[in-house]
Structure 1
Amino acid sequence: MEIAIKLSQFLLSLSILIILHELGHFIPAKLFKTRVEKFYLFFDIKYSLLKKKIGETEYGIGWLPLGGYVKISGMIDESMDTEQLAQEPQPWEFRSKPAWQRLIIMLGGVTVNFILAFIIYIGMTFFYGEKYIENANIKDGVWVHNTELEKAGIKTGDKLVAIDGKPIEKFEPSVNMDVLMAKTVIVNRNGQETTVNLPNNFIGKFIDQDKKSLISLRMPFVVGGFADNSPNKEQLKPKDIFVSVNGQALRYFDQSKAIFAAHKGKQVAAVVLRDGKETPVTLSVNQEGKLGIGPAEVTEANLEKLGYYKFNTETFGFFESIPIGIEKGFTQLENYWKQLKLIFNPSTGAYKGVGGFHAIYNVFPDSWSWEVFWSITALLSIMLGVMNLLPIPALDGGHVMFLLYEMISGKKPSDKFMEKAQLVGFVLLISLLLFANGNDIYKAIVGK
């Protein structure tokens, strides 16, 4: 069932992005009276799942969910159909249209991607508002999950003050990405501020450790499940919350490892909160310093009830949501562009994190949440827009590059040149596709 939910979200998001991207090319092409021969969701190599011809256009769904396309008459594209180009240009063909019209047709797809992302962020701001914790209210600092971050100088219990000189006012999930791409982080440790300089290859080291996050909120130790051989099944109950061990306060789960390690192979007195009352228990710690129990997830409501954090939700009217949503869109666009530059800089090691369709599939959760779904779809829309703008022949950006050259110089590249450029671009794209999906396979093999 979980696989079905993830797959459904993946295919739905991909379908929305592909259809709207291709509509961005299709609509201006039709407005400029350019013939569109095919409009396909997914690729129809050899055969299609569904197809129907309406007017001069064949609409269909292919069997290979790696993208989609519109085939425009008189355009050198990934189909490499040169037979049509050998004939005299016809009025309805792409190559017969003025350069400015061809430029609009080519920019239509990425324009729709960016507009879609902004619309989603506006809608999410209006429907869900903004959820955050005031950074000043995180009294006991953050929980650091990554040893490379610890080596760099950020420890569990540190309070984040600023990232790359920008003060942190609200603690949000995006703080992980901000830290990951940062050069400097200012932390407050025991009342003193310290500037931590992150190494240039920090991203690569983070990817090697395959952690889901760098930092998070510190959580109480709430009893979840028990191992089969756990000696503490009789003493503890699910939802018990640790208060202290051997008289030492145990407020956060991250403190438990060191505390129980100090009592290996011994019995230890502890106090847990059960049904709102403090209850004494005697626990057995094994030779590895463990109790044979797993922690339970704690909801935001329970964290508030227990007095750990206060979560804020700021709501906005529709017109208030517009500038906020647009700002979120530009922030994500800026962040993704930064990530892309890091990927193309081998010294950062960021290229190790490049993933293919399996990586995108894994981004989606195994339970359905419209808020999460639309957030991921908006980010993927920005990624699709930026990637398509890269000046690589066979991508929209490659066509735009040659069209701008034509408009500036007044010289149109020959069809022969465009065929060769398209072939080079196609080889580059296949190489990138193989690298990205090869990364997925490698991580699956080594268990990351």
Structure 2
Amino acid sequence: MISILVKSIQLLLSISILIFIHELGHFLIAKIFKVRVEKFFLFFDPWFSIFKKKIGHTIYGIGWLPLGGYIKISGMMKDKKNISSKNEIDKNWKFYSKSAIKRLLIISGGIISNILLSIFIFSCLLFKYGETYLPTKNVKYGIEVDSLGEKIGLKNGDTILFVNDKYVPYFNEIPKEIILGNSITIDRMGKIIKLSLNNNKKKFIFDRKEISFFIKPRVPPIINCIIKNSKAEKYGLKNNDEILSINSEFVSFSDQLKDLLLKYKNNNIIISINRDGNFIQKKIFLDSKGILGIYLKNFMDLDKIFSFQKKNYSFFESIPHGIIKSLDVLKNQIFFFKNVFHIETKAYKQIGSFFSMAKEFPSKWNWDIFWTLTATLSIWLAFLNLFPIPSLDGGYIFFILIEIITKKKINEEIIERSTIFGFIIISLIMIMIIIWDIFKVFIY
């Protein structure tokens, strides 16, 4: 229950930051061009609001429905109550009294601010933490794969040589390149094999309930920690013990250990370990699940075995790398969006609402992950708002670009009706996505 609360608070804070910055982008550019803003709301406020206060010509407030936010710009939509004369319509503080270029910039303000926020966050993270990489050439034992990795044709111990006929210098980039690519070239016990990655194989990547690493560096079976009240604790296993064999069957890697424990479930085993150079044996009875009650070290815990590279960035170096990071995230999102329309990939199953977003946040508060996800969502919000759908920023941008090209203003009534229609369509899509999310949790 506490973990759900922590995830929900992180999501709410992240969304609040994104909405506020998005609307602030519209607001500031409107102010620069002396366009009056009547309302500035974080979250929607149908029927009532949690808080509101009028300062100058603007009512600032917080709504109760956290599905977005809005600003109301004077003259952007017809207000029949206030139109009394032609003079009122032509007031120079109204939206449509400004040139097309100024209106385009005001509408683009939200998208621009979300892009800048993403770049700013990624730049700050790079400046503070730098980046840690595992060079692909240092993955000395090949890879370990889960069931998903096996479905696309990979096996434990494979060495990945190329993805899309291209050498990938850092291991952490390989999963992404596999998702984006069309082929993998591997070395399997000295035999060079080229695996194709068609849509039928990619459906295994998208058709899963949880995002997981389907490949990771293969590692020796070294105990990271012992679960309390487990068999491992009862029989005296300790942190940093290296497991050498089970019933005289040698164990070189963690994936082999998992297979052997399942093989000998409901049986006594003799487990041989290396403890600080000393050879020790323990006799243990395994239960019906073959569980010892240990967590093994992963490759990030084994810096004495794997040589990592750390890149630190100065303040000025972090900015261009922050831009690159945002562009990489955007590229991945465009790829995913493209695959949503390929039914055979089943990428549509990864579409989700706020419920899915919440699951991405950790159950314990972690500022590094929080800001990384916020930066990712920020560039995603900018991308979605570019779509030329009425009621989204992209819809208004589309109408203004037509006006610039044709040099004729589009009838405001057409824009208004299109906006209402667009809002209804987007609302229905959001409801469908929420229903789909609930369906995935309880049925799928």
Give the TM-score of the pair, scaled to structure 2: 0.90
Q: Counterpart of 1:384 in structure 2: which amino acid?
A: L
Match of 2:46, SS?
Answer: strand
Q: 1:322 to 1:71 in 2, by over 3 A?
A: same
1:365 to 362, 370, 373: 362
Query: Does the aligned pair in 1 maintain the 2:222–2:296 contact within 8 Å?
Result: no
Q: How does 1:291-440 map to 2 (within 5 A)?
A: 291-296=290-295, 298=297, 302-305=301-304, 307=305, 309-440=306-437
2-side partners of 1:336 and 1:136: how far apart? Answer: 28
Q: How does 1:177-196 map to 2 (within 5 A)?
A: 177-196=176-195
Query: Does the aligned pair in 1 maintain the 2:74–2:95 contact within 8 Å?
Result: yes
Match of 1:157, SS?
Answer: coil
Cα distance per residue 1:247-289 (max 9 Å; x no partner): 3332332112332344354323221244664321122245x5x
Query: Does the aligned pair in 2 maintain the 1:227–1:292 contact within 8 Å?
Result: no
Instruction: Note the C-alpha offset of 1:357.
Output: 0.5
Match of 1:313, SS?
Answer: strand
2-side partners of 1:253 and 1:6: how far apart? Answer: 31
Q: 1:372 to 1:85 in 2, by over 3 A?
A: farther
Q: How does 1:26-425 map to 2 (within 5 A)?
A: 26-76=27-77, 83=81, 88=86, 89=89, 90-147=91-148, 149-172=149-172, 174-213=173-212, 214-219=214-219, 220=221, 222=223, 224=225, 234-239=234-239, 240-274=241-275, 277-286=278-287, 288=288, 290-296=289-295, 298=297, 302-305=301-304, 307=305, 309-425=306-422
2-side partners of 1:216 and 1:378: how far apart? Answer: 25
Instruction: Note the C-alpha offset of 1:393.
Output: 0.8
Q: 1:420 to 1:85 in 2, by over 3 A?
A: farther
Query: Does the aligned pair in 1 maintain the 2:254–2:296 contact within 8 Å?
Result: no
Q: 1:31 to 1:164 in 2, by over 3 A?
A: same
Task: Indicate the RMSD between aligned Cα atoms, in angstroms.
Answer: 2.5
Q: Counterpart of 2:110 in structure 1: which amino acid?
A: G
Q: 1:49 to 1:151 in 2, by over 3 A?
A: same
Match of 2:13, SS?
Answer: helix
Query: Does the aligned pair in 1 maintain the 2:187–2:193 contact within 8 Å?
Result: yes
Instruction: Note the C-alpha offset of 1:29.
Output: 0.7
1-side partners of 2:118 and 2:6: how far apart? Answer: 23
Give the TM-score of the pair, scaled to structure 1: 0.89
Which segments of 5 or more consecutive residues in structure 2 lack a partner in the other structure?
none
Match of 2:352, SS?
Answer: coil
Instruction: Note the C-alpha offset of 1:405.
Output: 0.3
Q: Counterpart of 1:43 in structure 2: which amino acid?
A: F
Q: Counterpart of 2:432 in structure 1: which amino acid?
A: F
Query: Does the aligned pair in 2 maintain the 1:146–1:206 contact within 8 Å?
Result: no
Q: 1:82 to 1:392 in 2, by over 3 A?
A: farther
Query: Does the aligned pair in 2 maintain the 1:223–1:294 contact within 8 Å?
Result: no
Which segments of 5 or more consecutive residues in structure 1 lack a partner in the other structure?
none
Query: Does the aligned pair in 1 maintain the 2:123–2:321 contact within 8 Å?
Result: yes
Instruction: Note the C-alpha offset of 1:394.
Output: 0.7
